[in-house]
Amino acid sequence: MRRRASLVLLALAVFCAALAPLLRWYAYPRLAKIPPNQYQEVVLEAKDATLLDYADGMQPRKVDKVTIVQTLKGNVEASEEIEADAGRDVVVWDTLTHIIGPGGRMVSQIPERYIFDAHTQDPVHATGEMVDGDAVQRQGIEFKWPFFTEPRDYLYFDAQTRTSSPIHYVGPRTFKGMDVYYFEQTVPWTKVPMPKKMPVEGIDPSTIEATTGTTLWYTTKAMFWVDPVTGAPVNAEQEIRQEMRGGIAAGGPDGKLTAFAGHVKMREDYSAYTVDLVRANRLKVLALHTYAPAGLAGAGLLLLGLALWLEARGRRRPRESAEGEVSP
Say how many residues make up the chain: 328
Residue 120: pLDDT over 60? yes
Assigned domain for 277 exists: no
Distance from C-alpha of 301 to C-alpha of 293, rounded to nearest angstrom:
12
**pLDDT level of residue 323 (50, 70, 90 thresholds):** low
Confidence at residue 109, expressed as pLDDT on a 0 to 100 scale: 92
Q: Are 257 and 58 in contact (CB under 8 A)?
A: yes
**Span 59-72, pLDDT tens digits:** 899 999 999 999 99
Say whether both 13 and 41 belong to one domain: no
178 plus 57 within the same structural domain:
yes
pLDDT, residue 326, reads: 45
Indicate whether 309 and 179 sit together in one domain.
Answer: no
227-265 exposure pattern, b = at least 16 Cβ within 10 A, e = fewer: bbbbbbbbbbbbebbbbbbebebeebeeeebbbbbbebb
* Predicted pLDDT of residue 21: 87
Please tell me the total count of domains within the chain.
Answer: 2
Tell me: do 168 and 295 sit in the same domain: no
For residue 52, tell me if it sits in a domain: yes
131 and 10, same structural domain? Answer: no
Is there a single domain that holds both residue 147 and residue 296? no
Q: Which residues contact 107 (CB under 8 A, 6 or more apart)?
A: 51, 66, 99, 100, 101, 199, 260
Has residue 73 been placed in a domain?
Answer: yes
Q: Which of 45-59, 85-99, 201-215 has the lowest mean pLDDT?
A: 201-215
Is 158 within 8 Å of 220 (Cβ atoms)?
yes
Classify residue 273: in a domain, yes or no. Answer: no
pLDDT band at 175 (very low <50, low <70, confident <90, very high): very high
Q: Are 42 and 18 contained in the same domain?
A: no
Measured CA to CA, the distance from residue 194 to residue 206 in angstroms comes to 8
Q: Is residue 20 part of a domain?
A: yes
Residue 132 or residue 10, greater confidence: 132
Is the pTM higher than 0.75? yes
CA distances from 310 to 2, 3, 104, 296 (A): 6, 7, 75, 21
299 and 192 part of one domain: no
Measured distance CA(298)–CA(17) in Å, rounded: 9
Establish if 204 belongs to a structural domain. Answer: yes
Per-residue model confidence (pLDDT) at position 137: 95
- Residue 271 is assigned to a structural domain of this protein: no
What is the average pLDDT across 141-153? Answer: 96
In this structure, is residue 39 part of a structural domain?
yes
Q: What range does the domain containing 240 cover?
A: 32-266
Residues 124-145, mean pLDDT to the nearest whole number:
95
Residue type, 86: A
Same domain membership, residue 291 and residue 239: no
Total Cβ atoms within 10 A of residue 140:
17
Residues 19 and 68 both lie in one domain: no
Write b or e for each residue in 89-115: b if 16 or more Cβ atoms lie within 10 A of its Cβ, otherwise e. Answer: bbbbbebebbbbbeeeeebbbbbbbbb
**Stretch 67-92: mean pLDDT:** 94
Same domain, 148 and 41: yes
Write down the H helix ranges in the chain: 2-22, 28-31, 76-86, 205-212, 268-286, 292-323
**Same domain flag for 16 and 153:** no
Q: Which pLDDT score, from 0 to 100, does residue 283 have?
A: 93
